[in-house]
Homo-oligomer: A and B are copies of this chain.
């Protein structure tokens, strides 16, 4: 998951609000009545297939094998790098071996940021090394690094309120108090310190920028992630401290007025680097031009092997497609798996896809991405704009309920970061909300490796994606309001 999740909060909320509109009683009675009377929008046969898919998934899927293969055979796969190219080769090889239709890579070009070297140390009053990493996109420091005193701000808001020039020639540090949340909702707020902070600090005169990692663990893993320099403001080097090191800086600063430190980054940008989205399909038997999109992003940050972000999503959605194919099922519409490239650095693959498929977007029925780690799904939301869409959503919810998944309300359309460009183009989405209480322990760190994943939890996700993709693709239900 990248930093841009919160960017589409301004989009109009068209989500069905199960919690508020009808109350739990209405939902339950709807669930019961559709279960008792059979399908509205989905045939009895289609529902029976969905139930079979769900049950098969719960006995074990290929999801863990897929993530293990990707994270072992490719490992870290930074957007635009040779490693990301190897990931595309891995995906093409794997998808072809599984016998899917339309396996292909859709290339695009990008400026690729590269990390070469980095570090930081306290010089005074208490000399010691710090566990630190450059934020993605950070400009390099001079070769000897930046040497300066630290200006400590408890929150980004405090930095915003600092008078212009008040941190001139200093390294601005911003902390925070991010807590664990099940829905990951606080990330949008706290990661502004990472994305917008560098330019805010520079606008106040800072020569370098440092944050407490946007993460919930207390290990010495700094969390990287993209920054966004603002036009017209000097670009200053920006890094994240691990949480224990941020504690250390704050402890020393609270006791002594001046913390003097050195930080260094060596990084570069490679223009016109190659990236691409990798696609595979089960072709629709009646309306192949109508597309249900599932997927995950193929790139990862360079520090870990990208198992939770987003190898898990790759495993879940590829295994769901495989489950449907191996059941010998041919849905009415096409199910398209998109393994998005260059998500972490600004949804570049998703933007390229939108451009490349502009003419076909009206026939994109609905989309969902898996990009929140390997935790179990606990809530399901969708932004249907039609009654038949609502009814089919209830069928899906009814089949997922035995796995502990409840239909819920949501304040905004979602479905995964890579769907934002499609949402902006009017494509409806459905979102499988995963339990993310541990997600930000590992997110964007060197510790994001496959040993952290649980196969049974992945299988529960696969079951949910297979039921959803199958039922929508096998129907003729539309989730979009008719054009005015």
A128→B451 CA distance, assembly (Å) = 17
A219→B125 CA distance, assembly (Å) = 31
B128 adjacent to A76 (CB under 8 Å): yes
A74: chain B residues at CB < 8 Å are 126, 128
A219: chain B residues at CB < 8 Å are 219, 221, 447
Distance from A122 Cβ to chain B, minimum over Cβ atoms (Å): 8
Interface string of A37-75 (1 = CB under 8 A from B): 000000000000000000000000000000010001111
Contact of A248 among B72, B83, B127 (CB under 8 A): B72
A251 adjacent to B220 (CB under 8 Å): no
Cβ-based interface call for A129 (8 A): yes
With contacts A68-B251, A220-B221, A251-B68 taken as known, whether A451 is within 8 angstroms of B244 at the C-beta atoms is yes
A452: chain B residues at CB < 8 Å are 218
A220 adjacent to B128 (CB under 8 Å): no
B304 adjacent to A220 (CB under 8 Å): yes
A129: chain B residues at CB < 8 Å are 75-76
A218: chain B residues at CB < 8 Å are 451-452
B131 adjacent to A252 (CB under 8 Å): no
Cβ-based interface call for A478 (8 A): no
A247→B71 CA distance, assembly (Å) = 12
Residue of B nearest to A82 (CB): B127
With contacts A219-B219, A451-B244, A451-B247 taken as known, whether A131 is within 8 angstroms of B446 at the C-beta atoms is yes
A243→B452 CA distance, assembly (Å) = 12
A248→B251 CA distance, assembly (Å) = 37
Cβ-based interface call for A381 (8 A): no
Distance from A121 Cβ to chain B, minimum over Cβ atoms (Å): 10
A125→B128 CA distance, assembly (Å) = 38
A72 adjacent to B251 (CB under 8 Å): yes
Cβ-based interface call for A305 (8 A): yes
Chain A contact residues (Cβ within 8 angstroms of B): what range?
A: 20 to 34
A44→B237 CA distance, assembly (Å) = 67
A41→B159 CA distance, assembly (Å) = 65
A72: chain B residues at CB < 8 Å are 126, 248, 251-252
A125: chain B residues at CB < 8 Å are 73
Cβ-based interface call for A461 (8 A): no
Interface string of A74-85 (1 = CB under 8 A from B): 111000000100
A218→B452 CA distance, assembly (Å) = 8
A220 adjacent to B446 (CB under 8 Å): yes
B128 adjacent to A75 (CB under 8 Å): yes
Cβ-based interface call for A2 (8 A): no
A448→B285 CA distance, assembly (Å) = 59
A221→B244 CA distance, assembly (Å) = 14
Cβ-based interface call for A317 (8 A): no
A220: chain B residues at CB < 8 Å are 221, 304, 446-447, 449
Interface string of A234-258 (1 = CB under 8 A from B): 0000000001100110011000000
A304: chain B residues at CB < 8 Å are 220
Interface residues of A in 441-461 (CB under 8 A from B): 446-447, 449-452
A251: chain B residues at CB < 8 Å are 68, 72
A126→B449 CA distance, assembly (Å) = 15
Interface string of A196-237 (1 = CB under 8 A from B): 000000000000000000000011110000000000000000
Distance from A275 Cβ to chain B, minimum over Cβ atoms (Å): 19
Interface residues of A in 96-130 (CB under 8 A from B): 125-129
Q: List 5 A-B contacts (CB under 8 A).
A: A73-B126, A74-B128, A76-B128, A220-B304, A220-B446
